[in-house]
Amino acid sequence: MMTDLEKEVIHSADAARRVARQTLAEATAGKPHKGQRAFGWKDAEHVEEREAELLQIARSDILKGKKVETVHEEWTRLKVRSPQTPPGKTIGYSSVRYVLRNPRLCGYRSYVPQEVRERSGRVDPVEWLIERTDGTPVVGQWETIYTPDEWRELIDVLDARKSTGRGRKVGSTVTKRLMTGIARCAKCGTGLSSGMYTRGTTSYERYGCRKADGGCGSLSRSGPPVADYVEKILLGNLKKQAQSAKSTEEEDPELTKAKKTVKQIEADKAEARQLRADDELSLAEFAREIRRLEDKEREIKEKVSSLSAAPVRAGSAAARIVREWKNYTVDMKREEMQKSIESIMVKPAGKGGAQRGAFRPELIEIVWK
């Protein structure tokens, strides 16, 4: 026997599939969804006053800390039904979550490719917003219930609860994306969260620093160019290891030399300090000497860290990874990345922004383990 919730989920998955049949071109033009009306609207364009009011009250209550479960209980008492609710029933919990997250509420248009819907059943539309080529969301031609800021604020609160395990679902079915947990905001250090966006006929990951995760909120970057860059460097390191299989046992002679130089500089600094203490060096001479040694030290330490960057692994294993990389799944790539990469620091682009321009590798810094 199926539960009511399961029936409802299946029922609305059918509805979702119907909706997905419309063309992406229509979606990109901001045309309203066809087919069944959405909760909050009486048709494709016009707001249903009572439902819109319920959504507005729910939003402000949730921002004050009310749980979605409590909103669901209240709506159940009010005998609220969604267009997908089976006859004789009231709205289900997952539908309440769904209608509150609907980008349509603020006029944003989402488009989930049919094959994704078929694979995953109910998909979070927040992750499938359509963007214009300038990176701004496509805005639909219908009456709205929230402003974009109000909607985003609600989504951030709901997502923050999900990630701290406070709501009902912890999102266990969500597959990890390539760089989540690895990519961080270089400005505030917060781990970047990611979402899927659709532009034209392609969907891509976008990573951002979010205030809801305790971050500064000043960073948003398209994922694929960053991933390509990081993969290229990682594979380059692995190739190097594969070519010098003996590197598993022996330290790079250049690294040994650099480490020795660091020691020498430390000794020189100690000597300069001693000379100063004995008054053999004037304060000006001492200052100059220390600065010269510190400049040299900084330079050589950078060299040491770049030479010891690639963690040493058996040459044959490295060669195999390089060979098979193109067949690796996202999970496998993540696993391999995490073996040698501590984090990928993504720097904000500063004034003007890099989102529209070409990829700028200087905004990415890989911190090796």
Q: What is the nearest approach in angstroms of Zn ion to the Cβ of residue 209?
A: 3
CB-closest chain residue to Zn ion? 185
Nearer to Zn ion, 130 or 346 (CB): 346
Q: Is residue 216 within the footprint of Zn ion (CB under 5 A)?
A: yes
CA neighbours closer than 13 Å in the CB half-sphere of residue 77 = 6
Single out the residue of 24, 343, 13, 351 nearest to residue 185, CA to CA.
343
Nearer to Zn ion, 209 or 337 (CB): 209
Q: What is the nearest approach in angstroms of Zn ion to the Cβ of residue 348?
A: 8
Q: Is residue 209 within the footprint of Zn ion (CB under 5 A)?
A: yes
The set of residues, in sequence order, having a beta carbon less than 8 Å from that of 145 and lying 6+ positions away, is 40, 47, 52, 55, 56, 105, 106
Interface segment toward Zn ion; rule CB under 5 A; list 9-17, 115-123, 146-154, 206-214: 206-214
Q: Is residue 185 within the footprint of Zn ion (CB under 5 A)?
A: yes
By CB under 5 A, how many residues form the interface with Zn ion?
A: 7
Interface pick for Zn ion out of 44, 47, 157, 188 (rule CB under 5 A): 188
Single out the residue of 74, 53, 34 nearest to residue 146, CA to CA.
53
Nearer to Zn ion, 157 or 216 (CB): 216
Interface segment toward Zn ion; rule CB under 5 A; list 6-14, 20-28, 63-71, 216-224: 216-224
Specify the pairing of strand 202-209 against strand 219-222. antiparallel
Q: Is residue 187 within the footprint of Zn ion (CB under 5 A)?
A: yes
Q: Is residue 215 within the footprint of Zn ion (CB under 5 A)?
A: yes
Nearer to Zn ion, 107 or 215 (CB): 215
Binding site for Zn ion (CB under 5 A): 185, 187-188, 190, 209, 215-216
